[in-house]
């Protein structure tokens, strides 16, 4: 398989774009080699500029639940484009999609659209701070909530668990109100509440997709809800990645735990740039122009994105049983690869939730970021590179989740498992 054109394109891009990419993980730093440059997508497949074809288990990092170039979504976008690209003014499409989104979630009365997941989370936290009139927030190590300053944190050295900036360019003053807890560890969360009586909210990915797929234990979430209530803090579920992927009715329908605010993205844009945050009316009415918490955006509620999102969600609503099919395919995929890995003496941990899947080359199950960090990174990089050679495109980081689309058939899953068997044998014999 030749990737010479992609290599040339990457070199040219590096001269004009930092790192040659517009989002760091795309540079293949953690898996080695040169990133493929995509020419197009069709159904389950990606094609690169060298003419290679891959079964795509990334699906644009989640939003393409019906695969590339779904006819109904594409038609909705084309029709919307005929009326204009952007207006910066209200359209019926916004209310139409808002009504549909609200219908899926018991905990959402009103929703506001933005243009990215980062923007949705940033706005949700500001809203929580405005509603509670408090400053501190709690997040969990290994959960990613976008690149806003207050959330780019790493563990501090003090017992109070306050975070330090994890990126240059983020002043310490911007993260001094961010406390860090350990995922699935209620004691670490209790320490945060003991350290501060000024906590506005706790934000969590109830189904984490940015340390690989790791699910929060139900008992942990129940105690998290209880602690928030006891301390007057709001609970934010970040479902930018898991929303409509893990379940069409959100993590609350899986866990029985009801958040105060939910952030969304990915699927609700059908492949277009969209984010959203929603909550009960009492909270959402704090937003400008009704309330004192300011948030705005010229491209928020963009009519093309609204059309794509409505087409995707309405199709999913009409075909809700497809989630069970996708979950079964995801289980077949990872369990099949796990079996092949085991036959070669390779330890592999797997997990599935809805149409999301994850795998780790670990000895034991992964419950938090410390566990995820014990993954054999070198083995993952080899597996990724060799599977790419065989025509299977997995996320280019061991800390990312994979996705099944309706375009990926049972036969493709079997082909992937057979390819993994070949690769595991090749790795073991090196």
- Catalytic residue list: 144, 238, 266
Q: Which helix (H) or strand (E) holds 398?
A: none
Collapsed DSSP state (helix, strand, coil) of residue 286: coil
Please report, for residues 72, 165, 184, 246, 368, the alpha-carbon distance to residue 365 in angstroms, rounded to integers and kept in the order given: 40, 29, 13, 20, 9
Please report, for residues 107, 179, 180, 366, the alpha-carbon distance to residue 187 in angstroms, rounded to integers and kept in the order given: 27, 14, 12, 18
Two structure tokens written together for 407: 């375009």
Task: Scan for tokens 């036959």, then name that residue.
Answer: 343
Two structure tokens written together for 92: 């019926």
Two structure tokens written together for 331: 């289980």
Closest CA to 133 of 263, 293, 296, 294: 293
Closest CA to 113 of 328, 313, 268: 268
Q: Looking at residue 405, what DSSP letter applies?
A: -
Task: Scan for tokens 């930018």, then name that residue.
Answer: 240
Q: Are 109 and 284 in contact (CB under 8 A)?
A: yes
Q: How far is CA 118 from the centre of its chain?
A: 11
Q: Looking at residue 234, what DSSP letter applies?
A: E
- Distance (Å, whole) CA 326 – CA 324: 5
- Per DSSP, the residues of 370-390 read HHHHTS-HHHHHHHHHHHHHT
Q: Looking at residue 68, what DSSP letter applies?
A: B
- Distance (Å, whole) CA 215 – CA 193: 23
Cis peptide before 287 (omega within 30 of 0): no
Q: How far is CA 324 from the centre of its chain?
A: 20
Q: Are 199 and 236 in contact (CB under 8 A)?
A: no
Count of CA atoms in the C-beta half-sphere (13 A) of 251: 30
Strands 234-239 and 199-204: parallel
Q: Give the count of beta carbons closer than 10 Å to the beta carbon of residue 374.
A: 14
């Amino acid at each position: 398989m030749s990737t010479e054109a992609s290599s040339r394109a990457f070199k040219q891009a590096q001269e004009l774009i930092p790192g040659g990419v517009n989002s760091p993980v795309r540079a293949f730093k953690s898996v080695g080699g040169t990133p493929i440059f995509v020419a197009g997508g069709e159904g389950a497949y990606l094609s690169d500029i060298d003419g290679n074809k891959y079964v795509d288990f990334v699906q644009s990092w989640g939003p393409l639940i019906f695969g590339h170039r779904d006819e109904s979504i594409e038609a909705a976008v084309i029709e919307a484009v005929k009326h204009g690209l952007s207006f910066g003014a209200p359209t019926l499409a916004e209310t139409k999609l808002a009504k549909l989104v609200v219908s899926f979630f018991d905990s959402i009365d009103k929703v506001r659209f933005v243009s990215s997941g980062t923007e949705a989370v940033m706005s949700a936290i500001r809203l929580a701070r405005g509603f509670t009139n408090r400053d501190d927030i709690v997040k969990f190590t290994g959960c990613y909530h976008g690149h806003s300053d207050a959330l780019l944190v790493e563990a501090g050295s003090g017992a109070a668990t306050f975070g330090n900036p994890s990126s240059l360019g983020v002043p310490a003053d911007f993260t001094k109100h961010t406390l860090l807890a350990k995922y699935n560890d209620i004691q670490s969360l209790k320490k945060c509440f003991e350290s501060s009586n000024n906590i506005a909210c706790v934000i969590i990915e109830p189904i984490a997709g940015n340390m690989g797929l790791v699910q929060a234990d139900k008992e942990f979430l129940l105690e998290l809800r209880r602690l928030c209530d006891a301390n007057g803090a709001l609970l934010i579920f970040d479902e930018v990645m898991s929303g409509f992927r893990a379940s069409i009715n959100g993590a609350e329908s899986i866990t029985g735990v009801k958040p105060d605010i939910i952030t969304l993205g990915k699927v609700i844009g059908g492949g277009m740039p969209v984010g959203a945050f929603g909550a009960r009316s009492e909270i959402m009415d704090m937003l400008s122009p009704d309330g004192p918490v300011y948030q705005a955006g010229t491209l928020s509620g963009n009519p093309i994105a609204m059309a794509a999102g409505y087409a995707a969600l309405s199709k999913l609503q009409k075909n809700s049983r497809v989630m069970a099919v996708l979950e079964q395919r995801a289980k077949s995929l990872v369990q099949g690869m796990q079996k092949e890995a085991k036959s070669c003496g390779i330890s592999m941990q797997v997990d599935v939730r809805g149409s999301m899947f994850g795998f780790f080359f670990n000895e034991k199950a992964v419950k938090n970021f410390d566990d995820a960090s014990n993954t054999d990174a070198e083995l993952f990089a080899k597996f990724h590179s060799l599977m790419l050679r065989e025509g299977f495109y997995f996320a280019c980081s061991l800390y990312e989740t994979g996705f099944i689309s309706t375009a990926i058939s049972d036969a493709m899953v079997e082909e992937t498992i057979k390819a993994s068997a070949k690769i595991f044998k090749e790795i073991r014999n090196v």
